[in-house]
Amino acid sequence: MGIKEEVYYEGGPHVGDLIFNIFLAFTVICIPLTVGAIVRA
Protein backbone atom coordinates (compact mmCIF):
# COMPACT_ATOMS: atom_id res chain seq x y z
CA MET A 1 0.00 0.00 0.00
CA GLY A 2 2.35 2.68 -1.26
CA ILE A 3 1.63 6.24 -2.19
CA LYS A 4 -0.10 6.61 -5.56
CA GLU A 5 1.86 9.05 -7.73
CA GLU A 6 0.63 10.55 -10.98
CA VAL A 7 3.33 10.35 -13.66
CA TYR A 8 3.26 13.14 -16.23
CA TYR A 9 6.29 12.16 -18.34
CA GLU A 10 8.22 8.89 -18.56
CA GLY A 11 10.61 9.67 -21.41
CA GLY A 12 14.32 10.35 -21.41
CA PRO A 13 15.95 13.74 -20.97
CA HIS A 14 16.23 16.33 -23.70
CA VAL A 15 19.32 15.95 -25.90
CA GLY A 16 20.28 19.50 -24.94
CA ASP A 17 20.32 18.45 -21.28
CA LEU A 18 22.91 15.76 -22.03
CA ILE A 19 25.07 18.08 -24.15
CA PHE A 20 24.84 20.93 -21.63
CA ASN A 21 25.83 18.70 -18.70
CA ILE A 22 28.74 17.19 -20.63
CA PHE A 23 29.90 20.74 -21.36
CA LEU A 24 29.63 21.60 -17.66
CA ALA A 25 31.66 18.51 -16.73
CA PHE A 26 34.79 20.57 -17.22
CA THR A 27 34.10 21.95 -13.75
CA VAL A 28 34.51 19.52 -10.86
CA ILE A 29 31.26 20.59 -9.20
CA CYS A 30 29.11 19.60 -12.20
CA ILE A 31 30.52 16.08 -12.68
CA PRO A 32 27.63 14.43 -10.73
CA LEU A 33 25.13 16.24 -12.98
CA THR A 34 26.94 14.94 -16.05
CA VAL A 35 26.99 11.37 -14.78
CA GLY A 36 23.26 11.62 -14.05
CA ALA A 37 22.51 12.94 -17.54
CA ILE A 38 24.53 10.18 -19.19
CA VAL A 39 22.83 7.49 -17.09
CA ARG A 40 19.36 8.85 -17.96
CA ALA A 41 20.10 9.08 -21.70
Contact 40, 11 (CB under 8 A): no
Whether residue 29 lies inside any domain: the answer is yes
Whether residue 41 lies inside any domain: the answer is yes
- For residue 3, pLDDT over 80 is answered with yes
Return the pLDDT at 7: 81
Whether residue 2 lies inside any domain: the answer is no
Q: What is the pTM of this model?
A: 0.38
Name residue 4's amino acid: K
The total number of structural domains in the chain stands at: 1
Contact 40, 13 (CB under 8 A): yes
> Residues 11-40: pLDDT tens digits?
777 888 878 877 777 776 767 777 787 787
Return the pLDDT at 1: 67
Domain range for 30: 14-41
